[in-house]
Structure 1
Amino acid sequence: MNAPLQGHAASNLHTTTTPLLAVDNVSLEYRTPERVVRATHQVSFEIDPADRYVLLGPSGCGKSTLLKSIAGFIKPCEGEIRLLGQKVEQPGPDRIVVFQEFDQLPPWKTVKQNVMFPLLASKTLKRAEAEERALHYLDKVGLTAFADAYPHTLSGGMKARVAIARALAMQPKILLMDEPFAALDALTRRKMQEELLLLWEEVRFTLLFVTHSIEEALVVGNRILLLSPHPGRVRAEIHSHQYDLHSLGGVDFQASARRIHRLLFDEAPEAERELGFADIRIAY
């Protein structure tokens, strides 16, 4: 039986070393024809190397907008995002995004050419080196036999693996995944979660993963940031490193899922008092 879900002590949130990624009091806004909408409000968290960090919240809480801001596509209206102590001002190869729409793979390129493309376009490697690295990461995701196939011949899960291989081939400091398995059927999604964890065990890359599924967050992440309904504010940050796909359906797993649901949607401070989390970071 798994250990109970544990909170992340507020006193441990800021270490003496520089985190890989620091999101400091970040608020994000966007304009509609009628008004300015605040997507997130004063969100703060830190990610260390080899973390599997999950942003979890309901639709409209700003989690995908926050990921795009970390990628450098959207500037905060308040606060700052830093990568290894340097302010994030624009997109860069040190932050690669994998989206849920796999039509981002050019259909006229083979699987191998798709993985090679950003390496060549960014002039990171010469062709021979790019091909060698592409084949290396295709092997990591189990697609060596499909290196010369075209995207239209692949299943959704295989396209997801190509997108992950292409991202990892750039060897970013942090891999950003925006609900990457949301478009897949339930069985394929579970298989991709398993493969992602196996790949992480081998490569130990740093991952920032966005989802609105509590179960997926518990399986994929070793730390989870809970964001409130719109506008997204930090509700809590918790450790979930004791869970994996084998935990699904377990008593402790289901209890933790219910606790997270209450932290996301119940009013504070009643939810905090009743949940029994120890040393959890709570911010309302």
Structure 2
Amino acid sequence: MSTSTPLQPLLQVQKVTLEYQTTQHIVRATHEVSFEVDPGDRFVLLGPSGCGKSTLLKAVAGFIRPREGQIVLDGQLVHEPGPDRVVVFQEFDQLLPWKTVKQNVMFSLLASRTLGKREAEQRALHYLDKVGLSKFVDAYPHTLSGGMKARVAIARALAMQPKILLMDEPFAALDALTRRKMQEELLQLWDEVKFTLLFVTHSIEEALVVGNRILLLSPHPGRVRAEINSHAFDLHSQQGAAFQQTARRIHRLLFEEGAVEVPAAENEPAAPVSSHPQKRIA
């Protein structure tokens, strides 16, 4: 009788403490945070402002070195930025205004010498088609809406074919309708490409929609409160009783000191919660 090989985590964050210097003193952003991301996960870091979630993302990207602990990606210690991790930030003005949409997507491929010009163009066109911008490849950023700029940024990131895509509140600057549309398109894109995603947000609803696993971080400094398996929810679940109940439970776990779990009400199945983030949840 054959046994399946256990899935090996792609990303391991091991007791990571992060600090940064201000003009007056040293600030501790996170304290001994640990979690693992498996291949194909849509893993969300969720917490209030100041909990260190964006700082954690930057540490995974290699922009910040941990004060304590370590970050391991695909068996290699992270100590600097690399093309195996690509970040999509909240600000879409990061697009180069003098380059067309296609040239913006090609830029990273050419600058990193990942591909030659012809191959870079083919890959850029492929991912622009994936995000629905085939008709805008020769447009310039100033002619695009916020949602379209977001699509270009996502296409540019995926064109690098990173081991993990890092997104730091990528839709926070968009209006509510565009934000919902981008969440929907991101999930559709994931269904097609099956990339591994580490996603930062302070929105409980967005976390439940985008993520299949959610790590809850306490207010400053960020500590792990719990991990939630949220694969049961999607954009069409938001008005349902189970979705609303789980959102309330997350809010309690995030903001109420000493919060404990209470049994779910009858006919209101809740997403499983673990206070041990390293433990896999069924």
**Same fold by TM-score greater than 0.5:** yes
Which residue of structure 1 lines up, in the alignment, with residue 267 of structure 2?
none
Query: Percent of aligned positions with the same letter in both sequences?
Result: 76
**1:12-161 mapped onto 2 (5 Å cutoff):** 17-161=7-151
Alpha-carbon offset, residue 274 of structure 1: 2.6
Which residue of structure 2 lines up, in the alignment, with residue 182 of structure 1?
172
Which residue of structure 1 lines up, in the alignment, with residue 195 of structure 2?
205
Which residue of structure 1 lines up, in the alignment, with residue 260 of structure 2?
272
Is the counterpart of residue 282 in structure 1 residue 270 in structure 2? no
Alpha-carbon offset, residue 266 of structure 1: 1.2
Alpha-carbon offset, residue 16 of structure 1: 5.1
Distance 2:206 2:263 in 1: 21
Q: In the TM superposition, what whole-angstrom CA distance separates every residue of 1:82-141 from its partner, at most 9, and x where no partner exists?
A: 001110010000000000100000000000000000000000000000000000000000
Alpha-carbon offset, residue 273 of structure 1: 3.7
Is the contact made by 1:115 and 1:169 (CA closer than 8 Å) also made in structure 2? yes
Q: Select the structure with the greater relative contact order (CA < 8 A; seq sep ≥ 6).
A: 1
Paired letter, 2:112: S
Alpha-carbon offset, residue 17 of structure 1: 4.7
Residues 230 and 275 of structure 1: CA distance in aligned 2, closer, same or farther (over 3 Å): farther
TM-score of the pair, normalised by structure 2: 0.92
Is the contact made by 1:40 and 1:230 (CA closer than 8 Å) also made in structure 2? yes
Which residue of structure 2 lines up, in the alignment, with residue 233 of structure 1?
223
Is the contact made by 1:30 and 1:38 (CA closer than 8 Å) also made in structure 2? yes
Residues 278 and 149 of structure 1: CA distance in aligned 2, closer, same or farther (over 3 Å): closer
After superposition, the CA RMSD in angstroms is 1.5
Is the contact made by 1:259 and 1:275 (CA closer than 8 Å) also made in structure 2? no
Distance 1:73 1:132 in 2: 30
Is the contact made by 2:40 and 2:195 (CA closer than 8 Å) also made in structure 1? yes
TM-score of the pair, normalised by structure 1: 0.92
Q: In the TM superposition, what whole-angstrom CA distance separates every residue of 1:31-74 from its partner, at most 9, and x where no partner exists?
A: 11221110000000000000000000000000000000000000
Which piece of structure 1 moves more, 177-186 or 241-250? 241-250
Q: How many residues align?
A: 268
Residues 278 and 197 of structure 1: CA distance in aligned 2, closer, same or farther (over 3 Å): closer
What secondary structure does 2:260 align onto?
helix
Distance 2:190 2:107 in 1: 23
Is the counterpart of residue 242 in structure 1 residue 232 in structure 2? yes
Which residue of structure 2 lines up, in the alignment, with residue 251 of structure 1?
241
Distance 1:91 1:248 in 2: 37
What secondary structure does 2:142 align onto?
helix
Alpha-carbon offset, residue 279 of structure 1: 6.5
Which residue of structure 2 lines up, in the alignment, with residue 194 of structure 1?
184
